[in-house]
Amino acid sequence: MYLHRYCHVGLLGVALFVTGCEQSVTFSPEAGDEKRYWIYTASQDAEEGDIQYHLNSLLHYKMDSVGDIIQLQVIPEHLDLSLGNGDRTLNSATSNARNLQVFQSGFDLEVDKKSGTLLSLTGQDADAWSRHVEYFGENHPLLNMLRHQVSVPALNTSISTKVGDKISLPQFLGLPATLTVTQITTETLHATVEGKTNNRQLHGQLTLARENGWIESVYAVISKEQNASDFIAIQSTSNPQHISDPVPYFFHPQELWQTLSPILSSDPSGTPPVPHVMAKDDVFAYESGMLASGIPPYLSATLVHNLGQAPHSGHITLTDFRVRNEAGDDLGLPFLAPTNYHYFNDNKNSENAVLLMGWDHRETLEKTRSATATAHYYPDTLTSYTVQWREGEPQTFTLGDMTLNVTPYPQRQGEYHLSYNHGSSKNLLDTIDGLKGDIGITTLSAGPDWLTDSARDWLAWAGDPAQAIASTDMKLTEESDSVTFYVKARETNPLYSQTVTFLPKHLYEASATLPPITGNGPYNQPEPSEAEEDETEAHREILTERYAVTPFADITIDRSHPSAAMISLPMGWSSVCQAEVINDVEINHNGLIWQGHSKGPFPTDAFQLMTEDGIKQHFYDLTVETRLTCEGSPQWQTIPNVTNQTYPWLMDLSQLASITEDQPISALFKAYRFSGHDGDLLWALDRKGESIQHFDHPLSTILYDGKYLKFSGNIIEVSQLQATGEPQEKTWVTTFPPLPKG
């Protein structure tokens, strides 16, 4: 059973019960207290580093009575279990509620306050609980697991409020452990927890509320045999729909550090780089974004921005996400829009993943015709710091509230390791004045060195930002006495906020006036197969071919098959050349011709030798003389004043001479090319917003509003293939051998 097999860490995590005396954090619940927690658990494979499963749950705790025995309710408000192979085996928002009734109804618990021991656990829905017990038995592994998990995080030890104090815990997440108090604020107590057995080792970050002892957060990693790891994140939330997403990010620092790129310099005039602050009209440039489905229960909400070629800096967040029916009414579905920062991607879109929460919303979700949210734009700020640099020496620099440590590598001239306290909102740029050479990709890590790289990454991203350390390497060729570093910081308050609308994918992409969204698939969609990746890459290579014109002298007859012949014409020549048989040859009263044969719009066309009736294409014991005549040499020439200034991704077909809607799509690309920024070639999209698959179909099948072609990006330049110079020709004599005997 999946739940038994994969939920080793916990389906029903519970608050840490803490008791104590004065000057200690004391768990002091009262009847009627309520608390919600997002609990995330995952397990990482040792060999491949892949996630074997992850479980995300929202649990609601209600205190019924408090005495020597605490009576409480634990009600799962969302459960989401995913296996590493991409299958989602349990999701409360999109699964049949009847099958999950025993979970949806919640559980009644009795816990010994002094020891934290679970005394009883029963389902609140008596009928569903009875059926569950009758079917599985009282000692079914799932029930035993539930009983175990709700009692595991229970501490009956007083927690001192003195930094540095250590406390032995008989059990923390299944291991004996030692808690060390690391920080005290007016509201919270922070601690690290370390534990070890023969084959498991634990490191965690713990935060408790000083006022009542309730847990605020836990981020823990349990390292197992052969470097496999379990991950646990527990976050208290007063608003379940607005939290940081604890889903782990698994990087491989040792590989990334090997990737070096040149250190950038500021403007030669000495003007420091300035982050581009987008205008509000550019942030919210279009009337709608796109709503796409990923693997349930995730939706992808994508906004396209008018960034042009300006450096794009800053980030977008969404709040108050709502889906609506055809009449525009709110369907009332609860969504989690994580407060993580969503930066603009390479396609200058911003994509937010929103999680549908709750129980069995399938029927209501089908009524979705649009979505709305409040989008917030946060710009970045940039501060420069000039320091005195000492070549080859260890150095420490104070850059505002950031401490940068520079450590030279022994016996490696010009090579340094850089590390700094990352905090939650600041980054050191790879723009550095006064140093020349290469710099690596910055990686984040937190926790002790014995953790795996992936575990340290996860703690840095999901856990306490104050404990995250950013690191990178430099390999320098020139060093100056004066060096200027640049620190980029995220603003904590949005510069602009605006209500935005999202249309379902099929409606968005059917609109001519909404820009294309390319390279930005639905969140968490399945990985493509190897064959699909190969096909996509081949298609991309064709579509991004820069239409290089092959010299006339390089055109030859293809005799790869001894009994057939073909003239493959590279891109450009097919529109200006014709081939003909010039000697008198007949087979069964049919002459021979070179028949044009399209192999698609890119990169070649071909002439196939065949009889006039098209029946025979293989020949024996025959000599054929061929002449290829070309009007001139093909050359791409820019056509001025044809781009659409209002909707730059659209092309009015009437602006393209010699092209009509009844011609095949391939005719368009044989005669014209369309370039975006930096000369990148663009490709036309069909009316579903997807890459064209059938180039032999008429152009009318892909026209928007009966007249426009929609392209994969903004069209900056349109070029037409034209013949220039003097006509050219060449002849060949082709001899086919006799038919083989036997």
* Residue among 47, 421, 464, 524 at smallest CA distance from 246: 464
Residue 381: strand pairing partners: 489
Transcribe 281-323 into DSSP letters. Answer: HHHT-SS-EEEEE-STTEEEEEEE---TTSPP--EEEEEEEEE
Query: Cα separation of 324 and 502, whole Å?
Result: 10
* Residue among 172, 136, 173 at smallest CA distance from 4: 136
* Residue among 655, 671, 668, 658 at smallest CA distance from 700: 668
Reduced to 3 states, what is the DSSP secondary structure of residue 531? helix
Residue 731: strand pairing partners: 627
Q: What is the pLDDT of residue 308?
A: 64
505, containing H or E segment: helix 505-509
pLDDT in tens, 451-467: 888 788 888 878 887 88
- Contact by Cβ (8 Å): 416, 398: no
Whether the pLDDT of residue 402 is over 50: the answer is yes
- Contact by Cβ (8 Å): 446, 468: yes
Query: Cα separation of 520 and 134, whole Å?
Result: 48
* Residue among 170, 200, 201, 167 at smallest CA distance from 182: 167
Give me the amino acid identity at 575. S
**pLDDT higher at 49 or 741:** 741
- Contact by Cβ (8 Å): 499, 374: yes
pLDDT band at 146 (very low <50, low <70, confident <90, very high): low
Query: Cα separation of 713 and 647, whole Å?
Result: 10
Whether the pLDDT of residue 344 is over 70: the answer is no
* Residue among 22, 13, 52, 406 at smallest CA distance from 174: 13
Query: Cα separation of 40 and 59, whole Å?
Result: 11
pLDDT band at 523 (very low <50, low <70, confident <90, very high): very low
Whether the pLDDT of residue 504 is over 80: the answer is yes
Q: What is the pLDDT of residue 114?
A: 75
Report percent pLDDT > 90 for the chain: 29
Reduced to 3 states, what is the DSSP secondary structure of residue 678? helix
pLDDT band at 597 (very low <50, low <70, confident <90, very high): low
Across the range 637-658, mean pLDDT stands at 91
Range 47-75 burial, b when 16+ CB lie within 10 A, else e? eebebbbbbbbbbbbbbeebeeebbbbbb
pLDDT band at 10 (very low <50, low <70, confident <90, very high): very low
pTM: 0.77
What is the rounded average pLDDT for all residues in the chain?
A: 80
Residue 91: strand pairing partners: 80
What is the token pair recorded at 210? Answer: 């000083």
Residue 160: strand pairing partners: 24
Query: Cα separation of 435 and 222, whole Å?
Result: 41
Q: What is the pLDDT of residue 396?
A: 96
Residue 428: strand pairing partners: 487
Query: In 10 A of CB 740, how many CB atoms?
Result: 8
The residues near 405 (Cβ < 8 Å, ≥ 6 apart) are 394, 395, 396, 418, 419, 420
pLDDT in tens, 80-104: 777 655 555 677 888 876 767 888 8
What is the token pair recorded at 432? Answer: 């550095």
pLDDT band at 677 (very low <50, low <70, confident <90, very high): confident
Check residue 409 and report its DSSP letter.
P
Query: Cα separation of 197 and 363, whole Å?
Result: 48
What is the token pair recorded at 456? Answer: 């340290």
Query: In 10 A of CB 537, how many CB atoms?
Result: 10
Q: What is the pLDDT of residue 591?
A: 92
Give the chain's count of helices (H) and strands (E). 11, 44
* Residue among 165, 36, 44 at smallest CA distance from 106: 36
* Residue among 698, 704, 721 at smallest CA distance from 576: 721
What is the token pair recorded at 667? Answer: 């005719």
* Residue among 7, 55, 66 at smallest CA distance from 32: 66
